[in-house]
Amino acid sequence: MNRRSLLLSGGAALAAAGAYAGYTNLTGRPVPGQTLITPGAAHAQTEDAAAVDTSRVEELVLGNPDAEVTIMEFASYTCPHCASFHATVWPQLKEEYIDTGRVRFEYREVYFDAYGLWAALVARCGGQMRYFGISDILYDEQQQWARGSDANEVADNLRRIGRRAGLTDEALNECLADRDMATAMMQVYQEGMEEYEITGTPSFVINGTTYSNMSMDEFRAILDPLLADG
């Protein structure tokens, strides 16, 4: 079995991508409120990367596409610190900076394990129109859907979330079984992690500079001078 098949084969993806642990990064320095990206997850690139077609992996964007300031969030649907960020800081960040058109926001998926990859496949199954609505549910109900007794139960939980968003079982099953899409998503994930030197989640890239998890006050301290200069 080649590396690509191993990564994307059911329970094997769980072991290949690696587990997560809080409060450290790959350098060993403490990062409170951030979830570790293990070497196994960070190096999940396929051996034949040049042959992977990533054109179907659409950018996930909110806000003003022409804004001079861009925030990229790197996060995983199975990361507890990411769920906490989305429950606390995200609503205010979105209201003050994204909905007002002051910044462009791009969400970049991180896959610690098979469950996080499946969740992203379900979210993308609804297209751009439904993506962020499904994303909100995945974070709000992370403790419920991700704690199934086995992989089949977790997959069923994700299907239920998809159905609530208006997707059919047929569409959901097709998306969850789309190995080519999953492979392309893994490739885009790997390239982004390397390009921006992401070591934990949530992480944020603001106009090219990478930051670890932040409070709303910390976001304001970075964003307001950038917007004032613009």
- Which DSSP state fits 205? E
For 10-47, b/e burial (b = at least 16 CB within 10 A) is eeebbebbbebeeebbeeeeebebbbbbeeebbebbbe
Tokens standing for residue 152: 């089949």
pLDDT for the residue numbered 230: 61
| pLDDT for res 102 | 97
- The stretches in the chain having pLDDT less than 70 are 1-50, 230
Measured CA to CA, the distance from residue 94 to residue 230 in angstroms comes to 19
pLDDT at res. 159: 95
Q: In the prediction, which pLDDT does 49 show?
A: 61
CA distance 141 to 161: 9
Q: Do residues 120 and 181 lie in contact, with contact meaning Cβ atoms separated by under 8 Å? A: no
pLDDT of residue 23: 25
User: pLDDT, tens digit, for every residue of 110-119?
Assistant: 998 899 999 9
pLDDT value at position 29? Answer: 38
User: What's the confidence (pLDDT) of residue 148?
Assistant: 83
H or E stretch including 186?
Answer: helix 179-196
DSSP assignment letter at 96 = I
- What's the confidence (pLDDT) of residue 149? 85
**14: closest CA among 171, 155, 159?**
155
CA distance 26 to 32: 13
**Which stretches of 28-164 are assigned E, i.e. beta strand?**
30-36, 60-63, 69-75, 103-109
Closest CA to 187 of 56, 77, 72: 56
Domain 3-229 sits in CATH at: 3.40.30.10
